[in-house]
Amino acid sequence: MGQREQRSVITGAGSGLGAAMAHRLAQSGYRVGLVDIDAERADAVLQEIIGRGGSGFAFPMDVTKEAAWGQLKSEVERHWGGLDLLVNNAGVAAAGRLEDTSLADWRWIIETDLMSVVLGCHAFLPLLRSQGSGHIVNVASFAGMTPVPEVSAYVTAKAAVVALSEQIRVDLADSGVGVSVVCPAYVQTRLLETFRSADPGHRKMAGRWMEKSAVSAEDVAEDVFRAVERNRFLVLTHPETRWLWRFRRW
């Protein structure tokens, strides 16, 4: 995939990994559609990108709403006439064992972390197929590839995103549309702002792991960019997770 005049949409683009990916894509000539539930954050990132010579639009949206995806697709077609890259990045987190996590929190996690990816792919796959080109990036987590104690809902949703991405990749064989799934470990983002858990210790531990991480959002964005350029499926962003994945496969 070339770097000039490519058209991209990134969900959760108002902060963290989404904002870093938007900046990295804009830097390489992509036009960026910045989707976020927080309109001010999305617009702030857009203004930064425009200030650096990039272009795009901001689109405030709840990624769990099917109708909103239809509206976003219409906006993309109105602005650009097509799409080259969809990044399903928006997500939330919760901690707790299965029985300690409320059913409301289970639904919240599944709707946001899994069903938003389903909705995004469902909305844009027909367009990408008809073009015979494009790429989908689904942001999961390394927690979706190996069990993590007391993170039942999050692990379940992210594991499903990995499985969904594998299935889409098979279904898109020979279509000209690529698929990548990104499985980062801890990265310093704003994820804890919406983090849910009945045990305050979970938040503190997650915060400590984030602070200790040597991998930044910009590092992840670079890995994602390279994966899209090379049509690489699995993106493991942390050196320790690459070794863990090899060991588990062995």
In the structure encoding, which two tokens stand for residue 212, read together? 């200790």
The number of CA neighbours under 13 Å toward the Cβ of 208 is 6
CA 141/CA 89 separation, integer angstroms = 11
Residue 166: predicted pLDDT = 97
Encoded amino acid at 208, one letter: R
63 and 35 Cβ atoms separated by less than 8 Å? yes
Q: Which residue do the tokens 């400590």 mark?
A: 208
Residue 214: predicted pLDDT = 63
3 state SS of 90: coil
Dihedral of alpha carbons 181, 130, 62, 57, sign: positive
Picking from 4, 25, 147, the residue whose alpha carbon sits closest to that of residue 86 is: 25
3 state SS of 96: strand
Residue 33's beta-bridge partner residues? 9, 57
Choose, from 30, 57, 59, 154, the residue flagged as catalytic: 154
3 state SS of 178: strand
Low-confidence stretches of the chain (pLDDT < 50) are 1-4
Residue 2: predicted pLDDT = 40
In the structure encoding, which two tokens stand for residue 38, read together? 């927080």
Picking from 65, 107, 113, 116, the residue whose alpha carbon sits closest to that of residue 86 is: 116
Residue 207: predicted pLDDT = 53
Residue 246: predicted pLDDT = 66
Q: Where are the alpha helices (DSSP H) in 81-199?
A: 103-109, 116-131, 152-171
pLDDT digits (tens, 9 = 90+) for 227-249: 999 999 999 986 776 666 666 66
Is residue 154 part of the annotated active site? The answer reads yes
Residue 184: predicted pLDDT = 87
Record the pTM.
Answer: 0.88
Picking from 162, 101, 103, the residue whose alpha carbon sits closest to that of residue 137 is: 162
Residue 216: predicted pLDDT = 87
